Amino acid sequence: MSEHQETSIAKFKSKEAIIGIVGLGYVGLPLMLRYNAIGFRVLGIDIDESKVIKLNSGQSYIEHIPASKITLARESGFSATTDFSRVSECDALILCVPTPLNKYREPDMSFVINTTDALKPYLRVGQVVSLESTTYPGTTEEELLPRVQEGGLTVGKNIFLVYSPEREDPGNPNFETRTIPKVIGGHTPACLEVGIALYEQAIDQVVQVSSTKAAEMTKLLENIHRAVNIGLVNEMKIVADRMGIDIFEVVDAAATKPFGFTAYYPGPGLGGHCIPIDPFYLTWKAREYGLHTRFIELSGEVNKAMPEYVLTKLMDGLNNSGKALNGSKVLVLGIAYKKNVDDMRESPSVEIMELIEAKGGIVGYSDPHVPVFPKMREHHFELSSETLSADNIASFDAVVLATDHDKFDYELIKQHARLIVDSRGKYRAPAEHIIKA
């Protein structure tokens, strides 16, 4: 074991190390809180000055992370900065930056590359650099390795490089950062050892794999597994609907099998930063090897078609009452991508809103987690969340249940809505004014 490796490992074990977290969003912020809670000094680095100002004044910008936790962290050694020169203070640099797709469904690596380039001048002997962003197999080797070594450092000897994919599940009360096992792959065995020392302090179970590529592929398999199974059950939903069968009843019944079946439930499409996007990282990289990932692309097609399916069901429902969608008032319930969170990235609800508007419908929304429709790169609505009162619900020609937040009063909605288009299987008992979508 080299002297640098020994020194780094000892620093993490004694909690003398300073942890640098680059990118303070849904992944970086919980990780910061965890390291802070166990006694590490943490420096948060982000290019967004407004986030840094909020954090340094003890405020939160993520609904499920209370401001009190940020204030507590500030009082015990956490600070945030936009100044990348402070990278040299850190013993670990954990990169939690976004990896979206561009309009051609190709990986947009600009955040990862620009962040690494910004760190580069300030890297020093003894640091460990860990990438947590979901990406295609080979990213750590192809993009990070040459940049980290550019200034004369040698990965595996005097600086260490690992890939350890994030596995956050916002809004899931059963898991937190500490209890979700952490997969980690190192560029060299020495890198892996230092990476384990970094993460085993904060995470209950660390799972080693043989390379950064294997770790990158692990994260993709997890998310592709979900995308393909959700695509399958969405396709089954359409078949079941034609046959007059309740797909939710069928999934619940199948889920009683104690082996060989995992319950996935259909919905209005896929949302969030992971499931709709990550499979296409592999699709893109596989082309380099002359391979065509048909399962991934097929599930993508099925899931992408779901908002249109919900729209068709809405139009059918209005048609049955002698109404056209054009000129009808439609209330979309839930615009976050999943229940009980405020994250709207890739939300199918927003696509449903746009489809309704394109057909001449007058759209409104209600979401207790999103009081005002945020400014988004691709979607523009000047709307605020509607209050769900008996009169207000009844004033809409139709209600589309898109995201099934626990905070909704489903009985009130059922009593006063003229038409409900239920894409989440919330209303199981048949009723004349409820349509399954």
* pLDDT given at position 274: 74
Q: 344 near 309, Cβ under 8 Å? A: no
Q: Which two tokens stand for residue 243?
A: 């046959």
Contacts for 169-178: CB closer than 8 Å, 24+ residues apart: 170/26, 170/62, 170/64, 170/341, 170/343, 171/64, 171/338, 171/339, 171/340, 171/341, 176/30, 176/34, 177/30, 177/31, 177/33, 177/34, 177/202, 177/203, 178/34, 178/202, 178/203, 178/204
CA gap 20, 45 in Å, rounded? 7
CA gap 258, 262 in Å, rounded? 9
* pLDDT given at position 106: 87
The predicted-structure confidence for 375-394, as pLDDT tens digits, reads as follows: 877 778 999 999 999 999 99
pLDDT of 276 > 80? The answer is no
Alpha carbon of residue 185 to chain centroid: 21
pLDDT of 92 > 80? The answer is yes
Report the side by side order of strands in the sheet with 434-436: 362-366, 329-333, 398-401, 420-422, 434-436
Q: Which two tokens stand for residue 382?
A: 């000047």
Tell me which of 90, 96, 191, 274 is the catalytic residue. 274
Q: 237 near 247, Cβ under 8 Å? A: yes
pTM tops 0.75, yes or no = yes
Name the residue among 212, 7, 31 with its Cα closest to residue 127. 7
Name the residue among 282, 257, 241 with its Cα closest to residue 421. 241
Residue with tokens 């994260």: 219
CA gap 144, 97 in Å, rounded? 13
The predicted-structure confidence for 281-326, as pLDDT tens digits, reads as follows: 999 999 999 999 999 999 999 999 999 999 999 999 999 999 999 9
Active site residue 96: no
All domains of the chain in start order, with CATH: 3-210 (3.40.50.720), 220-286+289-301 (1.10.1040.10), 305-436 (3.40.50.720)
Q: CA torsion 403→407→409→410, rounded to 10°?
A: 30
The predicted-structure confidence for 186-210, as pLDDT tens digits, reads as follows: 999 999 999 999 999 999 999 999 9
